[in-house]
């Protein structure tokens, strides 16, 4: 344990550097997936046939082992080793949690609420914007939370395709048989993932509208 | 593209695929044998408080990245296939235990009461009412675990566990696209195969009227 702390303190600047790349990769992946998958999720909530196709694709992509997806992108010439491949893979993995949560969030909105809005003379676009999306917000946010936590773990694997992030501590530690290095990488990644999960979970609970809280605690 | 290298990679597939499948099946079997009973015990009225606590802990551990677990087993268990299986078991335990607890909690208390009212013993309620009704959720957990284990199994090659990861790693190290494509392709197919196969079982075992809305 003291060896571990010693190692972490001695290499603090390198570890911070790695953590920095780790965060920037996760951040860009989450931003891109928000921009791409949320609109897609909203789109498929209005078209059942498209929905089943898109969800099937998302589930299939999610099954692909992460090392496999990362390394396949490496073989595509214009992606190559490094950032663009890892970013693309993370965004594709985010498709499953994001699209499905947006879709389900919108779908589970109480039918009678929508009918009441219709009865008040709201157009379907206005119902979507003012009722379905706000009510779906907590579920959508749960999708973001899953994406962030998942990306933290999977980003580490990108170290094998040239990303210089916290996963690098693990990969190099395994090659060098350096236990403290592996431990510091693994523990830091796990701690960051758990931290993200807890913080975003708290935010998620704050997002739930007051009237819906009782249903959640059951 | 180099056809000879493709053939070389393909000739190694049966061996690596067999190791990969064995690795996945053993770790899944062990994980089911361990976490299903734990899940059942934790939902009994006697341990109900403990169950909620364990559920919270499992939720936190769900965030633990797979690669970290593989990496952490190496200092403890060393290199080879057995440590890799150990790491995969740890990995597979969580979703199954979690879904077992969630599934058993999800059974309508009215149904349980009705069964008790019909004079069923506690054991009979568990085996004939609760477990069948919770089965779809439990199976969903097993499916999540299976896909996860196939995925993390490719990383096992880094701690000398063998499997399809070997092909991918050779490809990455030598920058041979052929090895990467063959290894990754079969890895993806294996994962999709497990996913589809288990979702079919799940669909078949769901009692009519209790199918989960997807």
pLDDT tens across B49-75, in order?
887 788 777 777 776 777 888 888 887
Checking if the pLDDT of A152 tops 60, the result is yes
Q: Shortest CA distance to A89 belongs to which of A140, A19, A162?
A: A162
pLDDT of residue B175: 82
Position B47 confidence tier, pLDDT thresholds 50, 70, 90:
confident
Position A218 confidence tier, pLDDT thresholds 50, 70, 90:
very low
Q: How far is it, in rounded angstroms, from Cα A70 to Cα A66? A: 6
Q: Shortest CA distance to B82 belongs to which of B16, B152, B160, B145?
A: B160
Nearest chain A residue to B191, by CA: A63
Shortest Cα distance from A130 to chain B (angstroms)? Answer: 25
pLDDT of residue A28: 93
| Numbered residues of chain B with Cβ closer than 8 Å to any chain A Cβ | 60, 62-69, 71-72, 74-75, 147, 150-155, 158-159, 164-165, 168-169, 171-172, 177, 180-181, 183-185, 187-188, 191-192, 194-195
The terminus-to-terminus CA distance of chain B in angstroms comes to 42
* Complex ipTM over 0.85: no
Q: How far is it, in rounded angstroms, from Cα A148 to Cα A73? A: 21
Q: What average pLDDT score do residues B174-194 get?
A: 89
Checking if the pLDDT of B209 tops 80, the result is no
Nearest to A174 among B60, B158, B192 (CB): B158
Between the CA of residue A107 and those of A140, B23, B132, what are the distances in Å?
12, 39, 28
- CATH assignment of B3-205? 1.10.3720.10
Size of interface A-B (CB pairs under 8 A): 126
Rounded to 5°, angle at Cα A181 from A179 and A186: 95
pLDDT of residue A51: 92
Contact A182 B168 (CB under 8 A): no
Nearest chain A residue to B70, by CA: A186
Position A46 confidence tier, pLDDT thresholds 50, 70, 90:
confident
Residue-range domains of chain A with CATH:
2-209 (1.10.3720.10)
Checking if the pLDDT of A210 tops 70, the result is no
Q: What average pLDDT score do residues A68-77 get?
A: 86
Mean pLDDT over each residue of chain B, to the nearest integer: 85
Percent of chain B with pLDDT over 90: 18
pLDDT of residue B21: 93
Percent of chain A with pLDDT over 70: 95
Q: Pull the structure tokens for residue B129.
A: 């009412």
Give the tens place of pLDDT for each residue, A164-181: 889 899 888 888 888 888
pLDDT of residue A216: 45
Sign of CA dihedral B77, B79, B85, B87: positive
Q: How far is it, in rounded angstroms, from Cα B110 to Cα B116? A: 10
Mean pLDDT over each residue of chain A, to the nearest integer: 86
Tell me which of B208 and A77 has the higher pLDDT. A77
pLDDT of residue A32: 94
Q: How far is it, in rounded angstroms, from Cα A180 to Cα A141? A: 36
Q: How far is it, in rounded angstroms, from Cα A124 to Cα A128? A: 6
């Amino acid at each position: 344990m003291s060896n571990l702390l010693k190692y972490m303190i001695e290499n603090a600047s390198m570890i911070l550097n790695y953590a920095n790349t780790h965060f920037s990769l996760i951040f860009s992946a989450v931003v891109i997936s928000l921009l791409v998958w949320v609109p897609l999720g909203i789109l498929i909530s209005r078209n059942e046939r498209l929905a089943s196709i898109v969800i099937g694709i998302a589930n299939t992509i999610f099954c692909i082992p992460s090392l496999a997806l990362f390394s396949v992108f490496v073989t595509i010439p214009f992606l190559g080793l490094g950032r663009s491949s890892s970013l693309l893979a993370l965004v594709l993995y985010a498709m499953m949690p994001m699209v499905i949560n947006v879709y389900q969030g919108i779908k589970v909105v109480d039918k009678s609420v929508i009918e009441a809005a219709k009865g008040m003379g709201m157009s379907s676009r206005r119902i979507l914007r003012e009722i379905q999306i706000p009510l779906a917000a907590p579920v959508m946010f749960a999708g973001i939370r899953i994406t962030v936590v998942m990306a933290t773990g999977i980003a580490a694997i990108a170290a094998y395709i040239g990303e210089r992030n916290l996963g690098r501590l693990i990969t190099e530690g395994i090659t060098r048989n350096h236990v403290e290095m592996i431990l510091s990488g693994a523990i830091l990644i796990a701690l960051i993932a758990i931290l993200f999960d807890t913080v975003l979970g708290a935010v998620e609970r704050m997002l739930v509208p007051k009237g819906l809280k009782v249903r959640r605690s059951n | 593209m180099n056809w000879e290298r493709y053939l070389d990679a393909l000739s190694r597939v049966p061996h690596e695929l067999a190791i990969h499948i064995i690795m996945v099946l053993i770790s899944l079997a062990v994980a089911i044998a361990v976490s299903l009973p734990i899940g059942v015990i934790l939902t009994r009225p006697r341990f109900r408080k403990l169950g909620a606590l364990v559920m919270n802990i499992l939720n936190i551990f769900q965030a633990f990245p797979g690669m970290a677990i593989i990496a952490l087993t190496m200092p403890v268990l060393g290199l080879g296939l057995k440590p890799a299986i150990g790491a995969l078991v740890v990995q597979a335990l969580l979703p199954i235990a979690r879904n077992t607890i969630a599934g058993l909690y999800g059974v309508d208390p009215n149904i349980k009461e009705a069964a008790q009212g019909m004079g069923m013993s506690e054991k009979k309620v568990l085996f004939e009412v609760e477990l069948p009704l919770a089965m779809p959720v439990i199976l969903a957990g097993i499916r999540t675990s299976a896909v996860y284990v196939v995925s993390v199994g490719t990383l096992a090659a880094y701690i000398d566990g063998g499997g399809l990861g070997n092909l991918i790693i050779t490809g990455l190290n030598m920058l041979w696209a052929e090895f990467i494509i063959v290894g990754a392709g079969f890895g993806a197919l294996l994962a999709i195969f497990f996913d589809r196969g288990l979702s079919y079982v799940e669909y078949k075992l769901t009692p009519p009227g209790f199918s989960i809305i997807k």
